[in-house]
Amino acid sequence: MGLRAAFHIMLNDLRLNIVSPFATILSLVVPINFLFLFVLFAVGGAKVPVSVIASGIGEAYTAGFLHALQSALTFHIHQVSTPSAGQRLIQAHRSVATIQIPHGFSAAVAQAKTASIPLTLNNLNHDFADDVRRAMPLAILNFYHSVFPSSLPFGWREVDTYTHNVTFLGYLSVSIQTVALLIGGLLFGGRGAARDWEIGTMKELMLAPIPPWSVVVGKLAAGMVNGIASAVLVLVVLLLLGLRPLMWGQFIGVTLVTLFVFISLGVAIGSIAKSQFIVTPFAFALGLPLFFISGAFGPISWSTPAAADIARVFPVVYANAAFQHAVHGYWPIDTSPVWLWMILLAWAVLALCVSWFSYRRATMQH
């Protein structure tokens, strides 16, 4: 009787979510918006736009230095013909600096004479200006390494830890799955539980000849079905971006456990708040800071120790790490896989207990 009732409560909640799809829409809009933001962040923040005037482009060393600038992994280069054209781009905020490779540059280098490269820098954007200041010596070093390898008494030999690179955008994109589960879970669980209190139908559930646990199970199950549907849509977006999980089992497992944790916490919040209007901002107020400190932009060991310690208390950082590993084969946390899974499962049990006690407390206080 209890499981049957839970099944019907789940179906009822799913019907209500279909006719009133606020939580479903938010659970998709938020991660997709984050993806757009990350793309803009990665594209806009990655390379510095500069103008380059290569006066003797046909000459060997001029072409070599232009290549060195392009290989510095810092510049997005607009080639212009005159300094005034470069200045116009700076004025139009389309360029941060103008680098002029002058006439006679090749000859000077060939004759081992000093060659001066004029650099006009818009230092209004301090970050970009510093990028240029760092990259120019690097480009000169690259140039010498390329054209006069014997003139440099040392070099380096790269040994890669992983078989493939993980791009910044690739890393950021995977974390949208975490934010989808985090915000979606809190919204599905919270709004589903709060709705019955808000419209008074909780009394009908409380007065039905069913065990109280069937209400909690029904609410959790409805949240899981909705959350899984949203997670699948976010996964499709990741696949379209070319981010195919290397470990499907781990990806699905982390999705289910993380979703369960946040749906359970959502049911607890909904039972306490008894209002969908409170649950929605609470989900964002709780979820977004947690997401940002939990390795969304990079491994937490790269952030400040305090932020990393706070992040370690919550399950989001472990979910993020497990997703990165499932997609990129890259383990970005100093917790072993066994411990990570134990922590995630412990959170699932804790969240379930919290949701149950919150629901029982709410019904007893009625």
Partner 1 sequence: MEDVSLSAKQQLPTAEYAVEVAHLHKEFGSFQAVTDLNFRIAKGEIFGLLGPNGSGKTTTLNMISGLSAPTSGEVKVFGLNPRKQSNSVRRLLGVVPQETALYEELTAERNLAFHAELFGYRRRQKGERIQAMLELAQLQDRAKSRVKTFSGGMKRRLSIGRALLHDPWLVYLDEPTLGVDVQSRNVIWDYILKMKQEGKSVLLTTNYLEEANALCDRIGIIDKGHLIAEGTPAALKAQFGSSVLDLEITGTALEDVRELLLGVAGVQSIEIIENRVAVSLASLNEGDAGTLLPVILRKVTDSGGVIRHMALREPSLDEVFLSLTGKGVRD
Q: Which two tokens stand for residue 261?
A: 């944790």
Q: Is 201 in the site for partner 1 (CB under 8 A)?
A: yes
Q: Which is nearer to partner 1, 205 or 352 (CB)?
A: 205
Region binding partner 1 by CB under 8 A among candidate stretches 197-205, 260-268, 297-305, 306-314:
197-205
x/- mask, partner 1, residues 148-187, rule CB under 8 A, reads ----------------------------------------
- For the bound state, the minimum distance from the C-beta of residue 11 to partner 1, rounded and expressed in Å, comes to 8
Q: How far apart are CA 56 and CA 103, in angstroms?
A: 6
- For the bound state, the minimum distance from the C-beta of residue 18 to partner 1, rounded and expressed in Å, comes to 9
- Contact residue for partner 1 among 203, 304, 309, 349 (CB under 8 A): 203
Q: Are the beta carbons of 185 and 23 closer than 8 angstroms?
A: no
Region binding partner 1 by CB under 8 A among candidate stretches 78-86, 121-129, 196-204, 232-240:
196-204
Q: How far apart are CA 134 and CA 258, in angstroms?
A: 41
- For the bound state, the minimum distance from the C-beta of residue 197 to partner 1, rounded and expressed in Å, comes to 10
Region binding partner 1 by CB under 8 A among candidate stretches 2-10, 124-132, 176-184, 330-338:
2-10
Region binding partner 1 by CB under 8 A among candidate stretches 42-50, 98-106, 201-209, 318-326:
201-209
- For the bound state, the minimum distance from the C-beta of residue 208 to partner 1, rounded and expressed in Å, comes to 4
- For the bound state, the minimum distance from the C-beta of residue 207 to partner 1, rounded and expressed in Å, comes to 6
Site residues (CB under 8 A) for partner 1, limited to 13-32: 15-16, 19-20
Region binding partner 1 by CB under 8 A among candidate stretches 128-136, 194-202, 319-327, 340-348:
194-202
Count of beta carbons in the 10 Å neighbourhood of residue 362:
19
- Contact residue for partner 1 among 147, 206, 233, 345 (CB under 8 A): 206
Q: Which residues contact 251 (CB under 8 A, 6 or more apart)?
A: 235, 245, 323, 326, 327
- Binding residues (CB under 8 A) for partner 1: these are 1, 4-5, 8-9, 12, 15-16, 19-20, 199-201, 203-210, 363-364, 366
